Amino acid sequence: MSEYSEEGNLVKIFIYGAGSIGCYLGGRLVAAGSDVTFISRPRIYQELSQFGLELTDYLGNNIKLAPHQLKLTTDPTQVVDADVIFICVKSAATEQVASELKEYLGSKTPLIISFQNGLSNVPILKSILQQHLVLEGMVPFNVASQGAGHYHQGTSGALSVKQSPHQHLLEKLFQKASLDIVFEKDMLAVQWAKLLLNLNNSINALSKKPLKEQLSIRGYRECLAMVQQEAMALLSEAQIKPAKLTAVPTHLIPKILSLPNPIFKLLSRKMLEIDPLARSSMQDDLLAGRLTEIDWINGEVLKLAEQFGQQAPINARLIELVKLAEKSPQSFSISASDLKDQLKSAARE
């Protein structure tokens, strides 16, 4: 394991995958004086080289970083200089990135943290990077790309990372950037709790509405409740108890989601404290014509069901609908009533 500096700004951080999460976390760290290099695709490289970064949030904060303030590269071999690496690529690219890291890092052993959706990424990273310390990380808040290097945090929450001997380093880095972070012993419980919330990503993407507007429509909330209940039944069978990430206990969320609008709004003020600009990353992907991470979100529920020789028809139907939308993203959208009918039909089949 590399020796890490006690001074956060001397630690060389590499963001492997400069998408919405990578740009936002990296940009916040840069603004706080940390040494951050962004490894990005050519499109993002060109965008940041032209516009720099603008980071805003639901509290009204605004950070602007000019292009010359950013260390940008499309060359992943530069990761050999890293002390800390944040993996922020889409889940489909995890195996490729792990193989690249194995080749480029050689005998170097930086701290590696996966800030990705789903539960399968860290096992893949660990299976390939067997000589490295790879930690689970979780980003609870929503970050939406606004274009031209502008990324907006639309919801609140503290980052979670697996406990490790090096957590004091991460704590200093993120505290300096005014980002809350907690260190968890049981990251599986945290990851499943986040995934239960992320099951709304597919519903939000299909609605083509901002998160706040979508959650204000009872029909869409009832769809989310159905999807979550199916997942929770499987988690109960697997004896996995999701962590509590919201003010509302996890097992009560589906019941509250299904309530009539006036009662829901009264009981769920915190849940609805969402910036009007916020939307799911899955909706971003659909609108941009990119493949989504549906197999690493709702697909995780299907994998859990398979472990017990069962099915998860409601989540399976959502996967089908999102994959149809991937083929025709501009023309595809579905109303709350139609989606609810589709999921009910799947449950009966």
Edge-to-edge, what's the strand order for the sheet holding 159-162?
71-73, 35-39, 12-16, 84-87, 111-114, 134-138, 159-162, 181-184
Residue 4's pLDDT is what?
Answer: 47
> What pLDDT digit, counting tens, does each position of 119-170 carry?
999 999 999 999 999 999 999 988 988 889 999 998 888 999 999 998 998 9
Tokens 């060389």 locate to 12
Residue 272's pLDDT is what?
Answer: 61
> What pLDDT digit, counting tens, does each position of 105-132 carry?
988 889 999 999 989 999 999 999 999 9
Residue 293's pLDDT is what?
Answer: 94
Identify how many contiguous H helices and E strands the chain contains and give both numbers: 15, 12
Q: What is the DSSP letter of 81?
A: G
Q: Which helix (H) or strand (E) holds 53?
A: strand 53-57
Q: How far is CA 84 from CA 8, 9, 114, 130, 315, in A?
A: 11, 12, 11, 16, 36
Q: How far is CA 242 from CA 109, 150, 155, 197, in A?
A: 32, 33, 20, 11
Helices (H), 140-280: 167-176, 187-198, 200-207, 211-215, 218-237, 253-257, 261-267
CB neighbour list of residue 47: distance below 8 Å, 6 or more residues apart: 148, 149
Torsion of CA 208, 155, 14, 68, to 10 degrees: 90
Give the span between the Cα atoms of 92 and 241, in whole angstroms: 27
Give the span between the Cα atoms of 151 and 218, in whole angstroms: 29
C-alpha of 346 from chain center: 27
| Single-letter amino acid, residue 324 | L
Give the span between the Cα atoms of 150 and 163, in whole angstroms: 32
pLDDT along the chain (349 residues), means of 10: 47 94 97 96 95 93 96 95 95 95 92 94 95 94 90 90 92 94 94 94 94 93 97 95 84 91 81 75 88 95 95 96 89 91 92
CA atoms within 13 A on the CB side of 310: 17
CB neighbour list of residue 247: distance below 8 Å, 6 or more residues apart: 270, 271
Residue 5's pLDDT is what?
Answer: 52
Say if residue 6 is exposed, middle or buried (CB neighbours under 10 Å; 0-12, 13-18, 19+): exposed
Give the span between the Cα atoms of 193 and 184, in whole angstroms: 13
